[in-house]
Each structure stands twice: as C-alpha cells, then as structure tokens.
Structure 1
C-alpha cells in the first residue's frame, strides 16, 4: 500500500507516520475522506495555498494533532467531523478563511480555546463545536446564514459571545449547557430565539429581549437557574412551551401587550408559594395575561400585576401635552 496517494488533485491517503504533514509543496485542492484518520503521531498540518476543501473525517481521531495552518488563497470548506476528536488541537491559523464548518467538524476538541471566524463564513452545521470544553470566547459574524442544532452545545468554558449586528439567525440548542456563558447582546436583526437555544445557560442573570424578537421557541431559556429578571420589549408575540421552565430564581418578567400566545408550561406547572411576578404594561393586558397563563398551566406559579401608567394618567398626560403645544395668544 502506498504511503501517500493523490488522484485528480485530491489527497486520498497519508500514512507516513510523521509528526508534521507539510503539504505546501503538493498541488492539491482537497484532502479526501479519512485521509489522515487516527494518525496518532501527527502533531502539525500545513496546508497548501490551493486547498479549498477538507472532506469527511479527514483528520478525525488524530489524538496528538495540536496545530493546523491554513495558508490558503481562497475560502475553505470543512466537511463533517473533519477534525473531530482531536483532543490536543489548540491552534488553528487562518480559520478566518473558512466558508463552511461541517457537522461536528471540531467536536470534542477539548483544548481549543479560540477560533476566529471571518467574513467568508456562511454555514455552521450541527454540533460543529459541541464538547469544545476549553473554548472561551467567540464572535459570530453577520455573514453567517445557517447555524445547525447544538453548534456550541456543552462548551462549558464559553463565557463571552459576540453576536455581530446584522446576524439574522440562531440555531436550535445552539448554546445548550454553556454553563459559563454571560447573557449576550442580541442584535436587532434577530427575529426568533429558537428552541432550547440557551437551555441550561446557568450563568444568565438579567435578560433583555429587544423589540425585534417576535417569538421564543420551546424551552428557549429552560433551566437557566440563576436567571432573575426578564424584560421583553414591545414586539414579542409568542412565548413557546417550557420557555422558562426550571428557572428557579426567576422573580420578575415584564411582558408587552403585543404578546398573543403563551405556550404550555412556559413558566412551569402547578402551584408555588414563591411566585414569579409577571408584569403587564397596560390595564387591558391583565385579564388577557391571566387567561393565557391559566390555559398554559402556569397561573399557579405566577402573580400577574400591572406595571405602568393607568388609563387616567395617560389621558392627563395627553391633555397636558396638547395644552403645551397649543399656541398662546397675547392681546
């Protein structure tokens, strides 16, 4: 069997059992499926400028691989599990040129602390960084169009995420069990928090939902145990089932009069001595909120209160403004 096999500009096999795979002298555009899989001796990979794709599981299970260099001229796509289970991987140079990060591409790379993402990135697939337990910070550029389920699930050291203004999508279960994550600033371009997006983010404390967000998916903030206060601005219409179930420290929720639906068990079930104060922003909303919370099974866990100006106060304010704006005639 040949140690190295290249066909039609694709590296199909590498079995040289060396610590460094320097591919810069090779005229290849792709690294083939499982080309380096389980190469225990491999510690460093240097890619050629012509590279455009790393295929499925190409470097999966390379237990001692700790450095990867993309010295390329064009955008590069990573297929599923491209670097999965590379437990020692710490440095990825040139990651700004990645255009696609496939499902599980960096899954369980437990020593990876940071991975800069650039303007060419369009897609982050399912579980792309799942289990990267040393990943500490992240910036997701606005050019990303698709984010798969659980893309950053179980990243237990991830503490800071910068969601760039202009980003329009988040993924289902995107930050599930990211237990160190602080509440990120949500861009005004986000329309929905998908199901279980922030489930188990137990470092969350005070949450503000901008008016651009129309819906919270099922279990969106479930089990955020230290979450104490939620303020949703005018625009939110749908609170999904189990959205805040298991948020044991939740004390205050401010809901706007734009809310039209509250899903099953959104704030838990049954009766509780410790009530969550659900605050309505106008008097007409009080009865509507109580009915929605009764139907979803959460009424026994909340107290619905009015938090705003009464109708009479608003009328007086309007009258005062009209007087202030009226022209004054001096004879």
Structure 2
C-alpha cells in the first residue's frame, strides 16, 4: 500500500537471500594470506587495504559483542548486510575500533533491543537499522554528521533518540514510523530534514529546537526560521487549526498521526502539500483549501476516514497516488478545471463517493483512481459509481478502460455560441424593425419594407442551414462513438 512497505519488501527478499546463504566455514588458522577470507566460527572477515578487517557476515546464532581485533589486526568496519536478519541478537556492543557501519548492516534484527555504538563512528549506511522493531534507544557519537536515508525507519519501539550537535542532515525516512518517540531534540547544527524523516510519529508531543538556528518550534509546529515550511507537528495538536499565512510548503509526514485534528484551513500562500502530510488524521471532517495550491502529494490525506466533502482549488495541477485513499466518508468531490494529473488509487476506497465529474483539463488518470473499493484484498468496482466526462477526454478514456459507468456531459460549445449569437442578431433585427416601423410607418416606402423583410428571411434561412449542419456533425460524431464502443465490446 505505502511506498515504505514496497521498499521493505524488496530489501526483505534480498536480505533473506543473503542471510540464508551463509556457508559453514573452517577455523581461522586454516586460512592464510592477505587476500584470503577469514572465518573464526562466528564471523567472516575481509582484509582491507590498510591492513584492517571488515566483518562481512555473522553466522553465530547468539551474539552480544563484536570483536575489536583478529589476528593482531583491528576490526574497523561492519560491511553491508553483515548482520541482516540475525534475529538472535538482543543486546550488542560494537567496539570503538569500528568507524564504519555499512548499508543494511542490521536490517531486520527484530530482537535487537539495545546497541552500544562506537565512539569514533564516522559512517553509517542507509537502512543500517531498518525494521529493528524492538530497538528502544539509540545514541550516536559526535563523529557523525549525517543520518542517512531509512537508517532507523520502522523502529516501532524506539523512544529515546540522542543525536550529537554535529549532525547537519536527517535523510529521507531516517526515523519514519518510530511511533514510540514522544520527545525529540534537534541537533544544533541541523540544517536539512528529509522527506518523512519524522513521519508517522504518533506519540510525539514535544520538539526541542532551542539549540538550533535553522528551525523553530512554535504553536506545536516545527518550522523553518522564516515560517514558510512546516516539518513536523505535535501529535497532540487538536481541534480546528489555521495553517499560518506565509506557509508555502507542508512537508512529508508533517501532521501524520495527528488524530485530534478535526478541521483544517489553508492559507493562499500554500503551494504544496507533500507525501503523507496529513495521513492517519482520523478525526478530520473538513478541509478548507485556498487558491494557490499547486500539488497534493502521495498519500497526503490517506486514511482520513471522516472527511466528507472536498472542493479543490482551481490552481491545483497534480493529485498524486493514494492522495485521498480510504477517505471512506467522502461523498462530494469538486474537481476544478485546471487539474491535469490524478494518480493511481487517488480515491481508492472512497466508498461513499458515487458521482465524480472529471474536468476537460485532466490529461492523465492513474489506474483505479476512481470508482474502486477493496474487498478480500482485491480491488473491486464500486457499486453505483458514475463518472461524468467530456467526450474524447482523459476522463472518458479512463472510464472506458476501467469499464466504469459514465455519462458524456459536454455539449457542442461552438453550436451553443453560434445559436446564441444568431438569436442576439435576430433580436436586434426585430428591435430595429419595430423602431423603424414606429418612426416611419407613414413615410416608409413599399420598397424599404420589402427589403427589410427579404433581409430577415435570408438571415433566418442562413441560420437554419447552419444549425442543421451542426446537428449533422454531432449526429455523425455520436454514431462514430457508438461504433467504437461496439468494437471495443
């Protein structure tokens, strides 16, 4: 469903393959030479260019401590996937000799609760502790400058995060879904917060930004100093809130899990609502959008089950995948002319929504964007759903490809404009004739009256012919559409 799960599944498959492929080795004494792999019965080692070792694989069932030296050589690194899926580890001490931990190094170590990090660690790979579900605390040394993407994502039990003031960046999804975090202190040097770095923090109620010069925590919201971007809100923020005027962007996951919100008002300054910004806000009932908004990101209002109506602004161009999926109370949707892109599953499982009009401006519509629910883990057409579309538009193509009941609501605008113009001309002719006859009925010559009558009749004949030609064009177009429908069936 969510992007994070797709990534987890992919790495899970890879990690499982790596973990299960560990061969049983021989004793360390049987392996000699600088290029040989060393195995001591618990770990595999690879000799580095600087005559130190990297641990490349752990084969032990239970491990409590990583060695600091083997064969008189320091162990300075833990390689990629080295401990992936070692589920027997609950407490681990990493020696101070280690300066580098590779990507996916402890991926999926579900039993790991406590880890002592080395004091000279300078490199931490992405996904290093991804999905360590029982990890409760983490303290990183002052030698670390960046928390890479997904480093501690899905560490559900993590409650205590201590980062040094040397950290300048939190990568994308760095602490995503660390749902036990209730308080967090921003490092003094932090300048960049990646997408969803603090997303799905369902328990956070305090963010300390007092030591930082780039961010400010005010009115339960973490913002940049200019107050133009919102990065994270307290999960306890409640009731009806007005996003401050001047805010231009609401970052990924900023209000995710804020289950006490019930109404939102956006300012005209807002241009972007990013991925999962208001996901899992289960009490939101109304959303007041303002003109100026350009894009709504992936899963921005995912699982907001009480939203009933949506009137989107005319400035909106893009609605991303899953943007309003599982908004099950949504029963009225106004899509304005101007929207160009509607993503896959954008309104999936909006079961109360039975009628949607797709504007002509829409160029692309993703699969299952409208008219689908989920039953027994499978997508099903929503009973009684109908789309109103323009002929030849992306809306009509979507309805036909998805076999959704639809009505073509557009009319021949050229014809309407022509008829209106001709009607106006006819009125002018009549008014002119009446005035003329009133003013000069006694003096008008028979030839003048005859000329006026002839002109009127000529105009009427011309109008009638034009209307009949348009009718024929419309009829021919409808017959062609019907033929195409029959061929498709």
- Structure-1-length-normalised TM-score: 0.59
Residue 399 (structure 2) aligns with: 293
In structure 1, the partner of 2:182 is: 85
Q: Deviations over 1:78-112 (max 9, x none)?
A: x979xx6149xxxxxxxxxxxx9965499524599
Candidates 259, 264, 277, aligned match of 2:386: 277
Match of 1:115 among 211, 214, 220: 220
| Unaligned residue ranges in structure 2 (runs of 5+) | 1-136, 138-146, 148-158, 162-168, 176-180, 185-190, 208-218, 374-378, 437-489
- Pairing of 1:180-195 with structure 2 (within 5 A): 180-195=283-298
- List aligned pairs for 1:206-225, cutoff 5 A: 206-225=309-328
Q: Report deviation, 1:324.
A: 5.3
- 1:154 maps to 2:262: no
Residue 138 of structure 1 corresponds to which residue in structure 2?
241
TM-score normalised per structure 2: 0.41
1:160 is paired with a residue of what secondary structure?
Answer: strand
Shift in CA distance, 166/124, structure 1 to aligned 2, threshold 3 Å: closer
- Cα distance in structure 2, aligned partners of 1:285 and 1:239: 17
| 1:104–1:129 Cα contact (<8 Å) kept | no
2:270 corresponds, among 134, 143, 167, to 167
For 2:119, the equivalent position in structure 1 comes to none
Aligned Cα RMSD in Å? Answer: 3.8
Q: 1:325 to 1:236 in 2, by over 3 A?
A: farther
Normalized per residue, the structure richer in helix is 2
How big is the shift at 1:250?
1.2
Rounded Cα–Cα distance in structure 2 between residues aligned with 1:196 and 1:243: 8
CA distance in 2, matches of 1:324, 1:154: 63
Q: Is the 8 A contact 1:226 1:247 kept in 2?
A: yes
CA distance in 2, matches of 1:120, 1:85: 25
Contact kept, 8 Å, 1:289 with 1:304, in 2: the verdict is no
Tell me the residue number matched to 1:34.
Answer: none
- Which residue does the alignment assign to 1:18? none
Give the superposition deviation at 1:61. Answer: 5.9
User: Which has more radius of gyration?
Assistant: 2
User: 5+ residue gaps in structure 1?
Assistant: 1-37, 39-55, 63-78, 88-99
- Residues 62-88 of structure 1, C-alpha deviations (whole Å, 9 max, x = no match): 9xxxxxxxxxxxxxxxx979xx6149x
SS of equivalent residue, structure 1 residue 290: helix
Secondary structure, aligned partner of 2:327 = coil
CA, structure 1 residues 316+244, in 2 after alignment: closer, same or farther (shift >3 Å)? same
Contact 2:221 2:230 in 1 (8 A): no
Displacement after TM superposition at 1:121 (Å): 0.9
Contact 2:199 2:252 in 1 (8 A): no
Residues 319, 285 of structure 1: CA spacing in aligned structure 2 closer, same or farther, 3 A cutoff?
Answer: farther
